[in-house]
Amino acid sequence: MTNTNQILTPGTIGRRRAAIIPEQPPQLWKSVKPKKAYDIVIVGGGGHGLATAYYLAKNHGLTNIAVVEKGWLAGGNAARNTTIIRSNYLWDESASIYEHSLKLWETLEEDLGYEMFFSQRGVLTLAHSVSDVRSKRRNLYANALNGIDSEWLTPQEVKKLVPIINISEDVRYPVHGATYQPRGGIAKHDWVAWGYAKAASDLGVDIIQGTEVTGFDIRNNKVQGVHTSQGTIATGKVGLVAAGHSSILANLAGFSIPIQSRPLQALVSPLLEQVLNTVVMSGAVHVYVSQAHKGELVMGAGTDAFNSYAQRGGFHVVEHQLAAALELFPIFSRAQVLRTWGGIVDIAPDASPIIGLTPVENLFINAGWGTGGFKATPGSGWVMAHTMANGTPHKLNKPFALDRFATGHLIDEHGAAGVAH
């Protein structure tokens, strides 16, 4: 009993664990007013937009760049995701881009000179039925062919890794095994965005917050500038990196993209003693959970069924997810929900991103990361920067072109990987 009581007294845990999180300097990036003109304007100051600006500056020597953000920096999905990082995707195209991203994660803190609490604590993806086991093992072989670390664990091995998990057969979704990617893990999401912002700002990129893009100056099908709430900014190239608002921006530029915007919810518990030192995901029961550095359990739910821009979802979605989580982790019944929230995710028909050229010349798009974009932040920025600097896609994002919906070369991770990303 005393042990259980200790687990549920967050006050002392919070004070103890807060000490491991270093203080931030008073200012990480310069706050600036927009200039009249830039070589490149990035629309969207989330992780992906900031990473794009950073790699444009670092890899391609282009620094006359503005990142224009409607709200505050990294206040959208960059602050709302569940921070899971992995690369064990089924299809070659996805595995290649996510693995490129994971490799960048592995040296990112050194590269940016900024701590992000990147922690390769491993990611478990549970299988709950015979067909689940088959598809997960198929995934495993595909990963092996792509040189991605991933292994099969029996229920007993899962239990050894995660002692609090219930592997009883007498539950609605029994654990029949799991794939495990040891190099997967988590990072502190807002710090990732701040790290990119600081590094980009240090290289001369202007970060402009509180400025909404209201339209585009397009002449002869070529982008010449962006209209914003702070006036028009002339520019030679524009990158749309706006997640849930991508279809609104595409429409302002005169073309349509196959994106539906949906709420995706997540929640945290108060600070608890460490009970979980790996990431556990289950596509079948719509739950993914990890324990953050300070001790809070971070859990993600499924998307709400309908289109929305409200950054909130229905409580029944959270309830459904918690029911599954409690069955897998009975000990969680003693914890409380501290906070739930929603973000607006941009979902493409094949649940894969759209990165590349658009029908408008010099206007580029990076959207459709849907429910799983956080892990891709470095790789996404890297290939987007390459695409914008050269005017042609990097080999890693070539398959993710907007025209795949007309050619039929879809990258169907939805059907292949289940809903959870």
Tell me which stretch binds another protein (CB under 8 A): 5-13, 165-173, 200-208, 305-313.
305-313
Does residue 258 bind another protein (CB under 8 A)?
yes
Q: Which of 256, 277, 333, 390 binds another protein (CB under 8 A)?
A: 256
Q: 44 vs 185, which CB is nearer to another protein? A: 44
* 314, 330, 331, 337: residue in contact with another protein (rule CB under 8 A): 314
- Count Cβ atoms below 10 Å from residue 335 Cβ, excluding itself: 20
The window from 60-68, 221-229, 247-255, 360-368 that contacts another protein (CB under 8 A) reads 247-255
Report residue 263 as tokens.
């709420």
Give the three-state DSSP class for 267.
strand
In the complex, the smallest distance separating the C-beta of residue 346 from another protein, rounded to whole angstroms, is: 9
307 is a contact residue toward another protein (CB under 8 A): yes
Least gap, CB of 388 to another protein (angstroms): 24
Binding string, residues 391-420; x marks residues near another protein by CB under 8 A: --------------xxx-------------
Within 133-192, which residues bind another protein (CB under 8 A)?
none
Q: Do the bridges between strand 177-181 and strand 123-127 make them parallel or antiparallel, or are there none, so unpaired?
A: antiparallel
Q: Which is nearer to another protein, 152 or 405 (CB)?
A: 405
CA distance 28 to 10: 30
DSSP H or E run through 109: helix 92-112
Q: Tell me if 260 contacts another protein by CB under 8 A.
A: yes
Query: How many residues belong to the site for another protein (CB under 8 A)?
Result: 23
Q: Which is nearer to another protein, 72 or 309 (CB)?
A: 309
Of 288, 391, 301, 390, nearest in space to 340 by CA: 301
Question: Could you give the CA distance from residue 313 to residue 145 in angstroms, rounded to a whole number?
Answer: 39
Taking CB under 8 A as the criterion, the residue among 77, 139, 261, 397 binding another protein is 261
How far is Cα 390 from Cα 379, in angstroms, rounded to an integer?
17
Binding flag, residue 309, another protein (CB under 8 A)? yes
Q: Distances from the Cα of 259 to the Cαs of 242, 348, 358, 374, 405, in angstroms?
A: 12, 5, 14, 18, 11
Which tokens hold the place of 136? 């997960």
Does the protein bind another protein through residue 275 (CB under 8 A)? no
Which tokens hold the place of 16?
A: 């103890």
Say whether residue 2 binds another protein (CB under 8 A). Answer: no
Contact window for another protein (CB under 8 A) among 3-11, 15-23, 153-161, 248-256 = 248-256
Rg (the chain; Cα; Å): 21
The tally of CA atoms less than 13 A away on the side-chain side of residue 269 is: 28
Shortest spacing between CB 251 and another protein, in angstroms: 5
Shortest approach of another protein to residue 108 CB, angstroms? Answer: 32
Our finding on whether 305 is near another protein (CB under 8 A) is yes
Q: Find all residues with CB under 8 Å of 99, minimum gap 6, and list them.
A: 87, 146, 147, 148
315 binds another protein (CB under 8 A): yes
Stretch of 99-107, 274-282, 304-312, 411-419 contacting another protein, by CB under 8 A: 304-312
Strand boundaries in 44-99, DSSP class E: 65-68, 84-85
The region of 23-31, 264-272, 308-316, 330-338 touching another protein under the rule CB under 8 A is 308-316
Residue 341 near another protein by CB under 8 A = no
User: 49-63 burial string, b = 16+ CB within 10 Å, else e?
Assistant: bbbbbbbbbbeeebb
Compute φ and ψ for 266, nearest 5 degrees.
-145, 170
Of residues 192 and 347, the one with the C-beta less far from another protein: 347
Decide if residue 257 touches another protein (CB under 8 A). Answer: yes
* C-alpha distance from residue 272 to each of 87, 112, 362 (Å): 28, 31, 49
How far is C-alpha 381 from the chain's CA centre?
12
Query: Minimum CB separation from another protein for residue 257, in Å?
Result: 7
- 3-state DSSP call for residue 232? strand
CB nearer another protein, residue 161 or residue 337: 337
Nearer to another protein, 140 or 363 (CB): 363
Among 251, 333, 336, 390, binds another protein (CB under 8 A): 251
Interface residues with another protein (CB under 8 A)?
245, 247-248, 251, 256-261, 305-310, 314-316, 349, 405-407
